[in-house]
Amino acid sequence: MHSFLGYSTKLLKSESTPFRSFSVIHNVFQWRSMSQSTSIPKKQQRVRDHGFDDYMEVEKKIRKVLKFQDLILSQPSSMLSISRLDGLSRRIGFKQLEAGRFILKFPHVFEIFEHPVQRILYCRLSRQAHLQIQQENQALLAQVPESVTRLRKLLMLSNTGRLRLEHVRIARKEFGFPDDFELSVVLKYPQFFRLFDAVETRNKYIETVEKDPKLARCAIESAREREYREKGADAENIRFSFLVNFPPGFKIGKYYKIAVWKWQRLPYWSPYEDVSKYDLRSLEAQKRMEKRAVATIHELLSLTTEKKITLEKIAHFRLAMDLPKKLKEFLLQHQGIFYISTRGNHGKLHTVFLREAYKKGELIEPNDLYLARRKLAELILLSPRKAKVDKALVTYRRDGEDYEMDGVKRNFVDNGFDGFATQNNGKHGGESEPHLDSDIDDDGASDYSDQDDKSVRVEGDRLTD
């Protein structure tokens, strides 16, 4: 009996050895395949950057203020009665009696006054707001030559050298194009652009007349050259690298750091280069195309005036620029280069920032158009207590009776330019962090929902807490 048990034990030990060695070989092979891969892992923790989110909280107020400004300026006399303003504000998404409360929050932008003849309250833009609009229009006109260059580079990013006119019109504000860019930019420079109607789709397209090799230089190439000269970095390491700046609290594991290091050294084709002559079926070519897509989005953001654009507007250029279908998941793999903020519009818009262009919530290299638009943010952030109050609007006498204006406090802004000073951007309250759980369709639609402010982990095709 003892001999039988001893023989059985030796037999089990001898049989278990191959299984154990096979498991070790499998683990070694799996580690080697992971270490040799140049693709950045998809499963990584998503960390929110409060600097960009606070920036978008101010942008949310700016978008609402701009809707009211356009509504008031569309009137012949550039002023509107409060009673009629409540009715018209429903067209721009405001509820009944909500418009009056909203404009009272920004007395440095909107001015409420009593009509001298009709004896009712009217609303118009303040003098500071008119000066800000004038400054922005002047900056737009001054940037027309730069707009021509940006549009030429934007068309060169397309694989066919053409883009739909409607897609460019939708993103005209981000690229600093004037509202009439079809006349002032496209048709005014026939030596650079050609406007035509496509027979098969019946859509208007903008096409570049001739590609200029001098413009085929990406912004990241200039950044690499500047880093090489200033910091004296190794030329081999920064030859194909991107400027990576992870958000605070982002944890980088050992294997993730190795994958990023190898991805930074991976060669890729320039976004302005024609890749139709290459065989894209190999694994190496697919890796290069993946990195080329990162360079294309990087260049697209670099062409914008504020180095940011919504994810939905990028989706309009997806087919023309050979971008991945799942843009949201693709950008989340490169959190050190881009940042997606879901703040500012209840998770319906997703703003993509170029991280290297911002520092502490401000653009590192501001331009005149950016500074003009930030003037409106300064007016919005000014405290209502600094606005001068006309007591006649709080209580006034008409036909021998007293009328108490319900809820009207500090509702008049003096036409002078006193008190026009910037306010430090504090932390702004906002919505909870939405849960990114859907992909951007071809038409830019999305179905994100709100969720508590937590870190999100990417797992496959879905983000979970």
How far apart CA 189 and CA 244 sit, in angstroms, is 38
**153 and 290 inside one domain:** no
d(CA 458, CA 465): 9
pLDDT tens sequence across 263-285: 999 999 999 999 988 888 899 99
Q: Out of 195, 213, 231, pick the residue that ends a domain.
A: 213
165 shares its domain with 259: no
CA-to-CA distance for 314 and 328, rounded, in angstroms?
11
Residue 442 lies in a domain: yes
Query: Could you tell me the pLDDT band of residue 155, with boundaries at 50, 70 and 90?
Result: very high
Mean pLDDT in residue range 237-245: 89
Decide if 298 contacts 354 (C-beta within 8 A).
yes
Separation CA 386–CA 413 (nearest Å): 9
Q: What percentage of the chain reaches a pLDDT higher than 70?
A: 71
The per-residue pLDDT for 59 is 92
Query: For residue 320, is it within any domain?
Result: yes
- Are residues 265 and 320 part of one domain? yes
The mean pLDDT value for 90-100 works out to: 77
Q: Is residue 69 part of a domain?
A: no
In a domain, 101, yes or no: no
Closest CA relative to residue 336, chosen from 249, 241, 244: 244
Is it the case that residue 7 has pLDDT exceeding 90?
no
End-to-end distance of the chain based on CA atoms, in angstroms? 57
Regarding whether 450 and 307 lie in a shared domain, the answer is yes
Q: How far lies 117's CA from each of 76, 113, 203, 250, in Å?
A: 18, 12, 51, 62
Query: Is residue 151 domain-resident?
Result: yes
Residues 180 and 247 both lie in one domain = no
Q: Could you tell me the pTM of the whole model? A: 0.74
Angle at which helices 368-381 and 50-73 cross, to 10°:
90
Answer yes or no: are the C-beta atoms of 289 and 317 closer than 8 Å: no
CB count, 10 Å around CB of 220?
21
Mean per-residue pLDDT for 409-430? 38
256 and 349 within one domain: yes
Domain closes at, from 213, 240, 256: 213
**Amino acid 452: pLDDT:** 38
Q: With cut-offs at 50, 70 and 90, classify the pLDDT of residue 425.
A: very low
Inside any domain, residue 52? no
The answer to whether residue 351 scores a pLDDT higher than 80 is yes
* Burial class of residue 113 in the structure, from the number of CB atoms within 10 Å of its CB (0-12 exposed, 13-18 middle, 19+ buried): middle
Which of these ranges, 222-236, 271-285, 386-400, 405-419, has the smallest mean pLDDT? Answer: 405-419
Which pLDDT score, from 0 to 100, does residue 462 have? 37
If asked whether residues 247 and 339 sit together in one domain, one would say: yes
Number of domains in the chain: 3
Torsion angle of C-alpha atoms 162, 199, 326, 167, degrees rounded to 10: 60
What are the two backbone dihedrals, phi and then psi, of residue 339, each rounded to the nearest 5 degrees? -135, 130
**What's the rounded Cα separation, in Å, for the pair 37 and 408?**
64
Residue 154 has pLDDT above 50, yes or no: yes
Assess whether 11 and 26 both reside in one domain: yes
Residues 288 and 352 in one domain: yes
162, 289: one domain: no
* Mean pLDDT rounded to a whole number for the chain: 77
Q: Which domain holds residue 357?
A: 219-269+275-364+432-464
pLDDT band at 5 (very low <50, low <70, confident <90, very high): very low
Same domain, 206 and 233: no
pLDDT reported for residue 347: 66
Per-residue pLDDT tens over the stretch 197-230: 887 778 899 999 999 999 999 999 999 888 888 8
Residues 193 and 250 in one domain: no
Asked whether residue 304 is domain-assigned, the answer is yes
pLDDT at 96: 67
Give me 452's structure tokens: 């508590």
**Residue 338 backbone phi and psi in degrees, to 5:** -120, 160
Task: Classify residue 121: in a domain, yes or no.
Answer: no
